[in-house]
């Protein structure tokens, strides 16, 4: 195993370009030292995903996560594959996602809003790299041919029923309006020329499912094209949950700054990105469904067998030397959750601040670890924000999308929502559950395991912001913690990873007198404070009587 770092020093400060295809993006990652190249044999069925997953399950910080490029891929049946496989190259970290967008991290949200508001329609070309190799007819059905010739990994070895396509851009078209939809749906290998495709049918689910319903009424199969490997900005549109009548290809063009080049499929009339690595064309039966699963899911449970769509493959086209792209999904954090988190958070913030006009909202953070971004949302509010605005924000975040906001918690701006220990502290000491908790009924259950009864859910809204001035946070002040950290490092002690709050700070309930006493204490003048308090001794009181309560009575 080697780590590729060519040109890292030169390119680190350059503004990233927007890759026009996946291999261009992969080259950009390698130039920045963001690729781990694995040249030893790796079994796609038992080793590939578990190895790449360790960077999410092994408490490795986001900035240390990398794309994994496997150049020597094998299968449990002894087969070897010439085609390399990559995982983590789209969104192993926010940095990798931003590189694919061609922007800095803080530009991700504005870039999406601008692109959605100013789409650039694609242009059609006749010749395309994705059709340099074309496999149709009997070649799809040969033993070991068709889908079996692709190095498709098993995502959750030990539980998944088959290898699965995960990094998909599934393209369908409304048979009535002609509007295209692009979604990220999983695909289970069933035969060399057949796939099981799962498109969410729940509220707020897949646009492709709505197209399927129309084909079902027409008693016709639904054409579909599944793209594996394309420019990141094209892939990123799939999970965005844009309006059903919105052509995501135009949004991708706006993100790219120029029209996406598309080409007509070989066996149907759908248009696909011309520079795709691999395209799987076919027809989905609109009448008969086929059992699909089990498959490890992002809600943290294995999805058991469901009846889902059955796709007959009519063609596989690809570049002469393609790269097979897979994403790490299932339990979060994952590549899939990063894709959602970095895009959803700024969109939710813009909805609350721009569309609803909520005052005092500073930040939206979607909890990622295990909960998969959507169910738990934290809102940060400025000190002194009116209670009415906090509650408008809580309700607004819970109701924007059907699958988002089961639990929404508002915190003060001194709390880092990424530190759930700090959130629990805020819940413990800044909420009166008689007043600061509201249960909003009839919330859609959203994405989750299907075991057990199916009932409407609710949204739990909690105001955990400070309601009045409070005493300081009880750690040494910042200057003393920073000085101690310098000494710690000087002594060569284990590396620190400070999680806020890591120093003491005022929360409003503090006086100049107490501030003076604290300064005197660190300067060694504590005896002066003792003289002051000795002179103010009083009798006839119960211990633990607050001094200011006595002062108030004396006024």
**What DSSP state is assigned to residue 464?**
E
Question: Are 306 and 291 contacting, i.e. CB atoms less than 8 angstroms apart?
Answer: yes
Give the chain's end-to-end CA distance (angstroms, integer): 76
Q: Which of 156, 164, 3 is nearest to 69 (CA)?
A: 3
Q: How many CA atoms are closer than 13 Å to the CA of 414, on its beta-carbon side?
A: 20
Query: CA 305, 307, 309, 315: dihedral to nearest 10 degrees?
Result: 50
Q: Which of 416, 373, 331 is nearest to 54 (CA)?
A: 331
pLDDT for the residue 11: 40
Within 8 A by CB and 6+ apart from 451, the residues are: 301, 304
Question: Are 263 and 126 contacting, i.e. CB atoms less than 8 angstroms apart?
Answer: yes
pLDDT for the residue 203: 65
Distances, alpha carbon 216 to alpha carbons 209, 220, 475, in Å = 10, 6, 64
The architecture in CATH of the region 2-326 reads: Roll (2.30)
N residues, the chain = 555
pLDDT for the residue 1: 42
d(CA 279, CA 234): 14
Contacts 24+ apart (CB under 8 A), 358-362: 358/389, 358/392, 358/393, 358/396, 359/385, 359/386, 359/389, 360/384, 360/385, 360/386, 360/389, 360/390, 360/393, 361/385, 361/389, 361/393, 362/413
pLDDT for the residue 4: 40
pLDDT for the residue 14: 57
d(CA 289, CA 308): 5
Strand locations in 12-158, DSSP E? 35-38, 42-43, 67-70, 73-74, 80-81, 85-87, 123-124, 133-136
Q: Which of 426, 380, 415 is nearest to 502 (CA)?
A: 415
Q: Is the peptide bond before 294 cis (omega within 30 degrees of 0)?
A: yes
Tokens describing residue 225: 């094209």
d(CA 210, CA 204): 11
Q: How many CA atoms are closer than 13 Å to the CA of 205, on its beta-carbon side?
A: 18
Q: Flag whether the pTM goes above 0.95.
A: no
Within 8 A by CB and 6+ apart from 125, the residues are: 261, 262, 263, 274
User: How are beta strands 407-412 and 164-165 bridged, if at all?
Assistant: unpaired
Within 8 A by CB and 6+ apart from 272, the residues are: 130, 171, 225, 227, 262, 263, 265, 279
CATH number for region 356-464: 3.40.1670.10
- The H helix count followed by the E strand count for the chain is 16, 27
Q: Where are the chain's structural domains?
A: 2-326, 356-464, 512-555
Q: How many CA atoms are closer than 13 Å to the CA of 484, on its beta-carbon side?
A: 11
Q: For every one of its 555 residues, what pLDDT tens digit does the chain have, with 9 covering 90 and above?
A: 443 433 334 444 456 789 999 999 999 999 999 999 999 999 999 999 999 999 998 878 899 999 999 999 999 999 999 999 999 999 999 999 999 999 999 899 999 999 999 999 999 999 999 999 999 999 999 999 999 999 999 999 999 999 999 999 999 999 999 999 999 999 999 999 999 999 988 765 678 999 999 999 999 999 999 999 999 999 999 877 777 778 899 999 999 999 999 999 999 999 999 999 999 999 999 999 999 998 888 777 888 899 999 999 999 999 999 999 999 988 888 999 999 999 999 999 999 999 999 999 999 999 999 888 899 999 999 999 999 999 999 999 999 988 899 999 999 999 999 999 999 999 999 999 999 999 999 887 776 777 777 778 899 999 999 999 999 988 899 999 999 999 999 999 888 888 889 999 999 999 999 999 999 999 999 999 999 999 999 998 889 898 988 876 676
Identify the residue whose tokens are 């699958």.
Answer: 403
Q: Which of 176, 236, 238, 185 is nearest to 211 (CA)?
A: 176
Could you tell me which residues are beta bridge partners of residue 504?
477
Q: Residue 331 in 3-state DSSP? A: coil
d(CA 495, CA 482): 14
Question: Are 298 and 332 contacting, i.e. CB atoms less than 8 angstroms apart?
Answer: yes
Q: Which of 48, 78, 79 is nearest to 157 (CA)?
A: 48
């Amino acid at each position: 195993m080697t780590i590729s770092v060519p040109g890292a020093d030169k390119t680190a400060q350059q503004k990233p370009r927007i890759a026009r295809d996946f291999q261009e993006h992969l080259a950009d990652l390698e130039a920045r030292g963001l690729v781990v190249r694995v040249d030893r044999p790796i079994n796609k069925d038992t080793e590939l995903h578990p190895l790449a997953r360790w960077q999410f399950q092994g408490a490795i910080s986001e900035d240390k996560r990398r794309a994994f490029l496997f150049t020597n891929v094998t299968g449990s049946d002894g087969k070897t594959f010439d085609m390399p496989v990559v995982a983590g190259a789209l969104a192993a970290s926010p940095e990798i996602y931003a590189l694919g967008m061609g922007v800095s991290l803080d530009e991700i949200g504005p870039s999406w809003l601008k692109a959605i508001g100013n789409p650039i329609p694609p242009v059609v070309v006749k010749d395309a790299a994705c059709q340099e190799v074309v496999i149709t007819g009997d070649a799809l059905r040969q033993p070991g041919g068709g889908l079996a010739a692709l190095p498709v990994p098993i995502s959750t070895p030990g539980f998944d029923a088959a290898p699965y396509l995960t990094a998909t851009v599934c393209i369908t078209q409304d048979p009535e309006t002609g509007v295209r939809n692009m979604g990220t749906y999983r695909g289970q290998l069933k035969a060399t020329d057949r796939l099981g495709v799962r498109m969410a049918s729940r509220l707020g689910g897949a646009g492709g499912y709505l197209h399927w319903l129309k084909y079902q009424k027409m008693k016709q199969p639904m054409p579909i094209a599944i793209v594996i490997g394309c420019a990141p900005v094209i892939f990123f549109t799939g999970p965005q949950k844009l309006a059903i009548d919105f052509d995501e290809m135009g949004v991708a063009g706006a993100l790219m700054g120029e029209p996406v080049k598309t080409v007509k499929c070989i066996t149907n009339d759908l248009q696909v990105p011309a520079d795709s690595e691999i395209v799987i064309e076919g027809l989905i039966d609109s009448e008969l469904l086929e059992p699909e699963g089990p498959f490890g899911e992002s809600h943290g449970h294995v999805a058991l067998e469901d009846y889902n769509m059955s796709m007959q493959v009519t063609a596989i086209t690809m570049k002469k030397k393609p790269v097979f792209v897979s994403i790490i999904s299932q339990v979060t954090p994952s590549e899939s959750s990063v894709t959602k988190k970095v895009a959803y958070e700024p969109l939710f913030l813009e909805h609350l601040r721009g569309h609803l006009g909520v005052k005092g909202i500073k930040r939206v953070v979607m909890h990622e670890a295990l909960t998969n971004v959507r169910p738990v949302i934290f809102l940060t509010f400025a000190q002194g924000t009116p209670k009415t605005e906090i509650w408008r924000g809580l309700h607004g975040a819970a109701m924007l999308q059907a699958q988002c906001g089961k639990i929404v918690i508002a915190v003060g701006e001194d709390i880092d929502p990424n530190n759930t220990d700090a959130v629990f502290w805020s819940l413990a000491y800044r909420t009166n559950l008689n007043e600061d908790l509201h249960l909003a009924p009839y919330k859609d259950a959203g994405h989750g395991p299907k075991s057990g009864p199916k009932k409407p859910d609710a949204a739990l809204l909690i105001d955990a912001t400070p309601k009045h001035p409070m005493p300081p946070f009880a750690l040494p002040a910042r200057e003393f913690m920073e000085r101690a950290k310098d000494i710690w490092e000087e002594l060569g002690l284990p590396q620190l990873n400070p999680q806020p709050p890591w120093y003491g700070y005022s929360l409003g309930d503090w006086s100049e007198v107490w501030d003076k006493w604290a300064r005197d204490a660190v300067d060694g003048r504590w005896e002066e404070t003792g003289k002051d308090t000795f002179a103010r001794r009083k009798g006839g009181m119960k211990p633990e009587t607050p001094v200011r309560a006595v002062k108030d009575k004396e006024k």
